[in-house]
């Protein structure tokens, strides 16, 4: 076993690797960018080395700096985590050339599976079924459009490099092919530096089922059963589970045998995942699944496999990379119970899942699982940390396990309901709605489920009067006596002739709320809300919703929903009028990738004006109303959150 390893990653996965390394007595070296100087993974590691500015191209993708850090600290091996350099064969070559060990497969194996088109040709030769489509080298638009017609619409355009849903477009009609191809190519070029694509038949009711495989350097390979990753939005996974619901013995046998065949075809060593697309339109059948791609690394969703097999996959990675054989044979790997993983992201589901930024002023996860269940919280952040625009906005993974799917699903509901995040927009309410969805609950999941039910899944009920009352109480610091309370605003003082009371203002969205909070002799409070709300009579504070007070705001938690109320500063002289409609501002930091309008153009509501690239994904910015453009951002401009992208001629508004 190694004495010291360097982790060429950040956030949740870096913390995850550190925990297993510590268990094995292996010392760890973290690397960090400017933005991560005080990150949790830096604090957890035994040593840490600064490798550059915040952008990934100047830090976490700088293989030379990472290798130099490993050599300088005496690390014997480099664990890549997932993402960044984890599937870069040139980096693997550089690591081995420096006399270090790469904790993962060989460069040859990564190259064999690194490009989807070449990988599918290889799998066809190995006897693994592949999706019907065009996987050739030619990239002329006329040829690709012709192949799409031959395959038959709908088709899926996919970047041949990378993954994570980037560079992927579904096309339902020939007239839309050209624009979809352009978008896929731009996104693929930005994310992977390669704009080449392949075109495949789009399966009508696709299930995304993948098999975890593991090989060593002695020719051994095993599988650790399957995971279902069909719950996706924008081709990115949201909730994963193991085993796959409805899995039949015949299909499991066929898929796991195909997965082992794929791994052995490239002499695979380490943790890997063979991803299959399954046609579920007529049930799960052993002749209706096809190879999509292989991820030659540890997957984000690996904890669900660990939960149902009892295997520490990171430990296996380190043991195999250090020269040991696989710790178990196929017959020794058993499947027990059911597990789910839900990814908690800083993103706004109601705005097309736009990534969000912000400071995590309040962050609380459940610390005890429900009876009969097990739970893991995988995170790389803590309260006070900022969600940076430079990296993936994942906050945590909630992982639960139960004796069966029903028990595990109940545990996931409970975990989501007890997760509290304030300071950034998060997707916990969306996840909770998905878990309650009738089709999801029944296990009738396919990759289109979220898009079909999206309107219902992102809808939020208005805050209850109880939630508003709780926000008003928190805004006045009522019920919080002691050193933390504001002695001038607390209502728990002495009043000789009348009950102490205070009026407070809140704002929820566009609604302004006035409330009168009064203290009662028995220690409870009465909150009266002005119309259109009814008066809220006295409440015992212990029965009110959970709240978090943070600068200028109060967040009230009701189940998995966090309602955030602005608390205006009464001394502020800032104009609190509603924002004028004369300009369109950036919803998040990003790069203006493409501009589709010009100064002087007359545009209509909903018309695409420009494309903003953020976190390697493209987001279309459309006109919020009819108008004439007075000014528009330049192509290639780097903008921050709130930057004016488009200004309209005022006379044209209305």
Tokens of 288: 């209706």
Question: Which of the residues 252, 297, 343, 376 is marked catalytic?
Answer: 297
- Specify the residue for token string 């592949």: 130
Tokens of 397: 């993974």
| CA–CA separation, 319 and 101 (whole Å) | 12
Count Cβ neighbours within 10 Å for each residue of 386-407 and write b for 16 or more, e otherwise: bbbbbbbbbbbbbbbbbeebeb
Count Cβ neighbours within 10 Å for each residue of 482-491 and write b for 16 or more, e otherwise: eeebeeeebb
Do 76 and 3 form a contact (C-beta atoms < 8 A)? yes
How open is the CA angle 402-408-409, to the nearest 5 degrees? 170
* CA-wise closest residue to 398 among 419, 382, 425, 384: 419
Do 566 and 511 form a contact (C-beta atoms < 8 A)? no
Residue by residue, DSSP assigns 160-223 as SB--TTTTEEEE-SGGGHHHHHHHHHHHHHHHHS---EEEEEPPSSEEEEEEEEEE-TTS-EEE
Residue 252 annotated to the active site: no
Residues 131-138: contacts with CB under 8 Å, at least 24 apart? 131/200, 131/201, 131/203, 131/277, 131/290, 131/291, 131/292, 132/200, 132/201, 132/290, 133/198, 133/199, 133/200, 133/201, 134/198, 134/199, 134/200, 135/198
**Would you tell me how many other CB atoms lie within 10 Å of the CB of residue 524?**
17
The catalytic site residues sit at 297
């Amino acid at each position: 076993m190694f004495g010291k390893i360097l982790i060429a990653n950040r956030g949740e996965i870096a913390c995850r690797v550190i925990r297993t390394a510590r268990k094995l007595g292996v010392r760890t070296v973290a690397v960090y960018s400017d933005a991560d100087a005080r990150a949790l993974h830096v604090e957890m590691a035994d040593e840490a080395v600064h490798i550059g500015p915040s952008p990934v191209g100047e830090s976490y993708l700088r293989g030379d700096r990472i290798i130099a850090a490993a050599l300088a600290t005496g690390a014997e091996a480099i664990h890549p985590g997932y993402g960044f350099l984890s599937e870069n064969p040139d980096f693997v070559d550089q690591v081995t050339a420096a006399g270090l060990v790469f904790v993962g497969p060989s460069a040859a194996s990564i190259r064999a599976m690194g490009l989807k088109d070449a990988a599918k040709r290889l799998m066809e030769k190995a006897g693994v079924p592949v999706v019907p489509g065009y996987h050739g080298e030619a990239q002329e638009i006329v040829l690709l459009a012709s192949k799409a017609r031959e395959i038959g619409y709908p088709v899926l355009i996919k970047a041949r490099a990378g993954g994570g849903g980037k560079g992927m477009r579904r096309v339902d009609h020939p007239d839309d092919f050209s624009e979809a191809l352009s978008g896929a190519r731009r996104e693929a070029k930005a994310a992977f530096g390669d704009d080449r694509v392949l075109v495949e038949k789009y399966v009508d009711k696709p299930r995304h089922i993948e098999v975890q495989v593991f090989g060593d350097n002695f020719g051994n390979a095993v599988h650790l059963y399957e995971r279902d990753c069909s719950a996706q939005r924008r081709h990115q996974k949201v909730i994963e589970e193991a085993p796959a619901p409805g899995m039949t013995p015949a299909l499991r046998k066929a898929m796991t045998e195909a997965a082992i065949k794929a791994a052995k075809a490239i002499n695979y060593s380490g943790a890997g995942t063979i991803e299959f697309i399954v046609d579920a339109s007529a049930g799960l059948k052993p002749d209706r699944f096809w190879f999509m791609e292989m991820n030659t690394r540890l997957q984000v969703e690996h904890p669900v496999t660990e939960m149902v097999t009892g295997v520490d996959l990171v430990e296996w990675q380190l043991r195999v990379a250090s020269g040991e054989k696989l710790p178990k044979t196929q017959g020794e790997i058993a499947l027990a119970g059911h597990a789910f993983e839900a990814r908690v992201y800083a993103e706004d589901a109601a705005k097309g899942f736009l990534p969000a930024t912000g400071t995590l002023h309040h962050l609380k996860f459940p610390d005890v699982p429900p009876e009969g269940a097990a739970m893991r919280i995988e995170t790389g952040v803590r309260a006070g940390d900022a969600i940076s625009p430079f990296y993936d906005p994942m906050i945590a993974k909630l992982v639960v396990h139960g004796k069966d799917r029903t028990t595990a699903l109940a545990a996931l509901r409970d975990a989501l309901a007890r997760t509290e995040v304030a300071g950034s927009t998060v997707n916990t309410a969306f996840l909770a709605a998905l878990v309650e969805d009738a089709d999801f609950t029944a296990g009738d999941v396919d990759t289109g489920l979220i898009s079909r039910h999206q309107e219902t899944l992102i809808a939020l009920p208005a805050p209850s009067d109880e939630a508003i009352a709780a926000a008003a109480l928190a805004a006045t610091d009522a019920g919080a006596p002691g050193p933390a309370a504001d002695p001038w605003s607390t209502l728990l003082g002495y009043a000789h002739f009348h009950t102490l009371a205070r009026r407070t203002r809140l704002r929820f969205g566009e609604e302004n709320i006035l409330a009168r909070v009064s203290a009662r002799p028995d220690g409870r409070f009465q909150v009266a809300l002005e119309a259109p709300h009814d008066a809220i009579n006295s409440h015992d504070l212990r029965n009110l919703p959970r709240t978090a007070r943070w600068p200028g705001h109060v967040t009230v938690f009701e189940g998995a929903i966090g309602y955030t109320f602005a608390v205006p500063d009464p001394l502020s002289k800032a104009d609190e009028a509603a924002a004028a409609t004369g300009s369109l501002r950036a919803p998040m930091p990003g790069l203006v990738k493409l501009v589709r309008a010009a100064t002087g153009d007359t545009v209509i509501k909903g018309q695409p004006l420009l494309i903003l690239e953020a976190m390697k994904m493209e987001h279309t910015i459309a006109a919020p109303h009819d108008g004439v453009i007075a000014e528009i951002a330049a192509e290639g401009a780097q903008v921050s959150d709130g930057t004016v992208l488009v200004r309209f001629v005022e006379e044209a508004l209305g």
